[in-house]
Every structure is written in structure tokens, then in C-alpha cells.
Amino acid sequence: MMKIVLSMMIATLISTGLMMMCLVISKKMKMDREKMSPFECGFDPKSSARMPFSIQFFLIAVLFLIFDVEVAIILPMIITLKTSNIMMWTITITVFISTLIMGLYYEWKNNMLEWAK
């Protein structure tokens, strides 16, 4: 019990010491206007950097990432075909593919795949 308390105290002291050192080291000397302004090829920006972002583009990008990860999951399933029970492998791949198709159908019916509205 004493070892646990001692190790927790040492961990707390080390982390607190590191945070204090980081706080002291990272102090900025002065706030310079040129250093605090955004850098765009050496020119001052003419418009706001906070432009409105297209939600539709974001949704398409997220859908692409989801399907990309699912393809990365399917590829090792093909390699395991030789070493697995064929019935269990077929059930697994059928459930996985049918879930993907149902998700794609849901997105299609809710017009999530329409680029321009």
C-alpha cells in the first residue's frame, strides 16, 4: 500500500514539476503585431480567414472516410478466407456487407449524397 502511495506522489511531483518548467520556458517576451498576424505568402490577408464551410462537403468527406475504413476492414477478411470456417466467414461477410448497403440506402434516401441542393 505504501508503494502505491509513494509512486502516486512521485508521479504527481514529476508531472507538476514538468508543467511548471514548461510554463516558465514558454513565456513569450513581447507581443509583436507582425508575429501575431496570419501569414499568407508575405501579404496581409484581404478577407477573413473564417469563411463559411460547406456542411455538404463535410458530410461527403465523412462518408468517404467511413467507407474507406470499411474497405480496409474487408481486405483482411479476404485473406482469412483460407484459414476460417467457411460458414462463419460467409455469415460475417454477409452481415458486414448488408450493413454497409443498408447505410448507403439510408444516406441515399435522405439525400445526403446530393452535392448541390
Q: Which sign does the torsion angle of CA 56, 62, 66, 68 carry? A: positive
Instruction: Lowest mean pLDDT of 15-29, 37-51, 67-81, 83-97, name the range.
Output: 37-51
pLDDT band at 27 (very low <50, low <70, confident <90, very high): low
Residue 105 C-alpha cell reads as 440506402
Q: Taking a C-beta distance cutoff of 8 angstroms, is the pair 81, 89 a contact? A: yes
Distances (CA, A) of 90 to 79, 81, 83, 95: 13, 9, 13, 9
For position 61, what pLDDT does the model report? 83
Band of pLDDT at residue 6, cut at 50, 70 and 90: very high
User: What is the average pLDDT across 82-86?
Assistant: 87
The model scores a pTM over 0.75: no
Q: Give me the mean pLDDT over the 34-44 stretch.
A: 62
